[in-house]
Amino acid sequence: MKDLIIIGGGPGGYVAAIRARQLGMDVMLVERDRVGGTCLNRGCIPTKAYYRNAEVLRDIKRLQDYNIKGPIADLEFDLEGAQQRKNEIVANLVGGVDKLLQANRVEVVWGQAHILSSSQVEVEGNIYNTRRILIAAGSKVLEPPIPGIGEEGVVTSAELLEMTSVPSRLLIIGGGVIGMEFAGIFQQFGSQVTVVEAGSSILGQLDQELVKRIRVFIRRQGITVYSKTRVERIERQDDHLLVTAVNEKEEKQLEVDCVLLAVGRQPCTDDINLDKLGIELENDGIKVDENYCTSADGIYAIGDVIGGQMLAHVASEEGKVAVERMCGMNSAVSYHAVPSCIFTFPEIASVGLSQEEAAASGLDYRIGKFQFAANGKAMTLGETDGLVKVIADEKDCIVGVHIMGPHASDLILEGTLMVREKMSIE
């Protein structure tokens, strides 16, 4: 009899497994693919590896700005090589997680897990008994019901990461974080990128002032964005795809070579037997209480599978907290201070309330701003696009920090501490 069986070895599941071992539990982790989950294998890490390629390409195109002269015409971008580099980074990290699990003596069982009851899990025909189960099954690509999404050349983010040639014309359905990161990366790789977003704005969850600015920078990079526009259908025509998109004013016919589906992700809840176990859903994710316990006693869930902020560090933190609470500890996730980073050009990083959220929650808020254009370090880098925006409540307590500009994803750490520790402006 195990103390805990964890289903899914992503950043939620593997961190939970290690924490459970540290707290003295007898733990088994079940994974059907590779440890590291979406984040390491086809999410955060591969995209950030490609982002670095894109950054270098962008710098090369601007060598003259730094007075480095000479022909760059002989240079060419080798996507297969970049892919190999990415795969090596991923393999290295996956190997690291494997070793961590071994070092912490977590038993890993490979295969698809099926929950039979709150004390039994079946994997590849074997039945394992346990005191508790933690579901960390993650999420999958949401496939919109658009006629033609099955056509060759219509891909998910995982498939785009495996392509060996750069599509000349890439159309991205969805202007959220994943869509806009790929837009920036593939535009630098040489694709002509068009983003079609059904909502009124790209990156809709961000502070709107930052959205307005990033739209300008994105346009300047040559990326076309159609917002309030819906893709109606996709058709294959000889060597290209014809995408029909409509908005209030017109119908557009867009000829492209590749279409990326990036309308969002949905929790992986369909193959876990939820109905039979009496596990309820809420907003498509598994419903949990403050202990991450589902509506079935003894079955817990964390990470993307419970919806909410689908981020790797949130999954890890929830995994750690869920296990600690199983052991009677009073830990909690600081949901008010979760940093999120967007790897566009320039980077964007945010923590806490946006100005719109501060207004909606009735705060008598104050705002402080500083432009990178007036910052010495940014000038020396030649990266002056963007700003830092700090939002404080009526007691001068910092409730939101938003950074768009060079190294935003590194700088946000300070903002996260300020918001998490409820620091004053002083």
Give CA separation, 79 vs 45, 47, 73, 378, in Å: 16, 13, 17, 30
Least distance (Å) from ligand FAD to the CB of residue 72? 30
Least distance (Å) from ligand FAD to the CB of residue 138? 2
C-beta closer to ligand FAD: residue 10 or 175 = 10
- Are the beta carbons of 210 and 226 closer than 8 angstroms? no
- Are the beta carbons of 408 and 386 closer than 8 angstroms? yes
Asked if 136 interacts with ligand FAD (CB under 6 A), we say yes
What distance in Å separates the CA atoms of residue 42 and residue 360, rounded to the nearest whole number? Answer: 36
> Which ranges constitute the DSSP H helices of 104-204?
157-160, 177-189
Identified binder of ligand FAD from the candidate list 6, 11, 119, 180, rule CB under 6 A: 11
Instruction: Give the range of 4-12, 20-28, 83-91, 225-233 binding ligand FAD by CB under 6 A.
Output: 4-12
Asked if 317 interacts with ligand FAD (CB under 6 A), we say no
Asked if 346 interacts with ligand FAD (CB under 6 A), we say no
Helix (H, G, I), strand (E, B) or coil at 136: coil
Count of beta carbons in the 10 Å neighbourhood of residue 424:
12
Which residue type is seen at 330?
Answer: N
Count of residues that bind ligand FAD according to CB under 6 A:
35
Least distance (Å) from ligand FAD to the CB of residue 37? 2
Asked if 347 interacts with ligand FAD (CB under 6 A), we say no
Identified binder of ligand FAD from the candidate list 2, 8, 349, 418, rule CB under 6 A: 8
What distance in Å separates the CA atoms of residue 354 and residue 146, rounded to the nearest whole number? Answer: 33
Instruction: Give the range of 142-150, 199-207, 306-314, 329-337 binding ligand FAD by CB under 6 A.
Output: 306-314
Q: What mask of x and - would describe binding to ligand FAD in positions 284 to 303, judged by CB under 6 A?
A: -------------------x
Q: Which two tokens stand for residue 388?
A: 């830092």
- Are the beta carbons of 69 and 199 closer than 8 angstroms? no
Least distance (Å) from ligand FAD to the CB of residue 14? 8
* DSSP count for the chain of H helices, then E strands: 12, 24
Binding to ligand FAD (CB under 6 A): which residues in 150-189? 157, 178
Least distance (Å) from ligand FAD to the CB of residue 44? 3
CA atoms within 13 A on the CB side of 94: 22
Helix, strand, coil % in the chain, rounded to nearest 5: 35, 25, 40
Asked if 307 interacts with ligand FAD (CB under 6 A), we say no
Q: Which residues bind ligand FAD (CB under 6 A)?
A: 7-13, 30-33, 37-39, 43-44, 47, 112-113, 136-139, 157, 178, 268, 271, 303-305, 310-313, 315
